[in-house]
């Protein structure tokens, strides 16, 4: 059984799921590359025998994933815009309230969707964003941005220039970073004595429960749980003091860390730890069952698409998500089964999807004409999309969903 070394504790990581060779999930070529020209890597998932952290066995170079043309924009969804605005207002009314000249740092600030609200209130802030293209977008909207990867040396430089941070925040970023120890050391270096590190990422418990294997791709190096976050934090002088389950992105947890001993952990921390233990979330048997469910889900999806093709139905996918690269390339879904993908992101349009090379068309073309079926890759935004595309169902169109199981609605 393939193994690697745990990036948290140095223990042995043993593979329980092999999703095959995969392309970079957020690199959309202008046209299909010639065979052998597209970068691929082995997408293999394992768990550490010592600290139980679930992680990828193979690391993709960070510069390859988060470069100048990284296409994802957090502001692209109205639901996510509202989510980050609410988070910013909560910080302003809570952790930042009453502090003298507070300072907020966001790791992976993307297009500044959260920090815009912080900036509008005149609060000192800094986004640390490695992708220069979206960093410029944030700066053009009045957000202070440092174009860099966050690690311990970055934290020291930020503290030297701006002073300590009362809040360090990150959304859908920390799970991307294999060198988590340097991140936690950097946070410990940067925080005030009573400051907090708040971050939210996809939750292992939801991924297992929903068989949402498309949450596993190059950018998601770790699949966190309260158990493994608490263990990792303790190794770097920090303590898990708060958890909050979130419905966004298919199920996340917002974790709050503080310096060890500085705060009393909320009751919710103990409750979630107990739930994970009762569910045997980290056991090899649980993870093997998840791997079996993944294989069955992919087979069911392909069988449905093949039946629809045989019936002469048109199928178009909705949402050229990073997650969908895992599904299309693991299951083998190409243009013989799905003719194209529609998406609202200009940076992805008139290109092809990674690996599977499905044409990406503007979402405005969805009704020209409507397909018979729409495969919803952006299932985590289902409520928003189904509401926006109500005319599709009114015209007789049907949606194909595959989380938590394959079905037509």
Mean pLDDT confidence for 300-319 = 98
Summarize pLDDT for 150-203 with one digit per residue, the tens.
999 999 999 999 999 999 999 999 999 999 999 999 999 999 999 999 999 999
Percent of the chain having pLDDT more than 90?
A: 86
- SS3 of 322-385: HHHHHHHHHHCCCCCCCCCEEECCCCCCCCECCCCCCEEEEHHHCCCCCCCEEEECCHHHHHHH
Summarize pLDDT for 345-380 with one digit per residue, the tens.
898 999 999 999 999 999 999 999 999 999 999 999
Query: What gap in Å lies between CA 57 and CA 232, rounded to an integer?
Result: 18
Q: Where are the domains of the chain?
A: 65-282, 285-408
- CATH for 65-282 is 3.40.50.150
The answer on pLDDT for 73 being more than 70 is no
Token pair of 125 as six digits: 């802030």
- Identify the pLDDT of residue 209: 97
Are 44 and 57 in contact by the 8 Å Cβ rule? The answer is yes
pTM recorded for the entire structure: 0.94
Q: Do domains 65-282 and 285-408 have the same CATH topology?
A: yes
- Identify the pLDDT of residue 134: 80
- Identify the pLDDT of residue 71: 59
Please state which CATH class domain 285-408 belongs to. Answer: alpha beta
Of the candidates 364, 368, 362, 302, the residue with the CA atom closest to the CA atom of residue 336: 302
Beta strand residue intervals within 6-48, DSSP E = 12-23, 40-48
Mean pLDDT confidence for 57-68 = 76
């Amino acid at each position: 059984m393939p193994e690697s070394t745990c990036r948290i504790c140095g223990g042995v990581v043993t593979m329980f799921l092999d999703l095959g060779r995969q392309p970079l999930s957020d690199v959309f070529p202008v046209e299909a590359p010639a065979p052998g020209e597209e970068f691929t890597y082995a997408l293999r998932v394992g768990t550490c025998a010592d600290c139980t952290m679930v992680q990828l066995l193979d690391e993709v170079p960070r510069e390859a994933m988060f470069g100048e043309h990284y296409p994802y924009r957090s502001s692209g969804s109205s639901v996510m815009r509202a989510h980050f605005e609410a988070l910013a207002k909560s910080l302003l009314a809570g952790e930042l309230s009453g502090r003298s000249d507070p300072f907020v740092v966001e790791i992976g600030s993307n297009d500044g969707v959260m920090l815009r609200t912080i900036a509008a209130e005149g609060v000192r802030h800094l986004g640390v964003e490695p992708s220069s293209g979206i960093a410029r977008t944030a700066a053009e909207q009045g957000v202070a941005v440092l174009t860099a990867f966050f690690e311990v040396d970055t934290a020291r430089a930020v503290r030297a220039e701006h002073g300590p941070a009362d809040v360090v925040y990150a959304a859908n970023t920390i799970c991307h970073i294999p060198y988590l120890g340097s991140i936690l050391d950097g946070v410990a270096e940067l925080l005030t004595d009573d400051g907090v590190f708040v971050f939210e990422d996809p939750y292992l418990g939801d991924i297992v429960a929903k068989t949402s294997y498309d949450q596993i791709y190059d950018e998601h190096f770790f699949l966190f749980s309260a158990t493994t976050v608490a263990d990792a934090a303790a190794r770097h002088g920090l303590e898990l003091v708060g958890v909050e389950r979130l419905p966004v992105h298919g199920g996340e947890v917002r974790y709050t860390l503080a310096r060890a001993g500085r705060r009393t952990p909320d009751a919710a921390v103990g409750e979630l730890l107990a739930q994970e233990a009762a569910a045997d979330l980290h056991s090899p048997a649980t993870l093997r069952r998840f791997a079996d469910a993944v294989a069955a889900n992919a087979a069911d999806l392909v069988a449905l698409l093949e039946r629809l093709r045989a019936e002469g139905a048109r199928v178009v996918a909705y949402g050229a998500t990073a997650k969908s690269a895992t599904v299309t390339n693991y299951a083998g879904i190409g243009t013989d089964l799905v003719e194209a993908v529609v998406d609202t992101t200009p940076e992805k349009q008139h290109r092809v999807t990674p690996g599977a090379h499905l044409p990406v068309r503007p979402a405005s073309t969805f009704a020209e004409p409507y397909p018979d079926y729409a495969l919803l890759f952006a299932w985590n935004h289902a409520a928003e999309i189904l509401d926006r595309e109500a005319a599709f169902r009114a015209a007789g169109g049907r949606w194909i969903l595959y989380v938590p199981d394959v079905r037509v609605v």
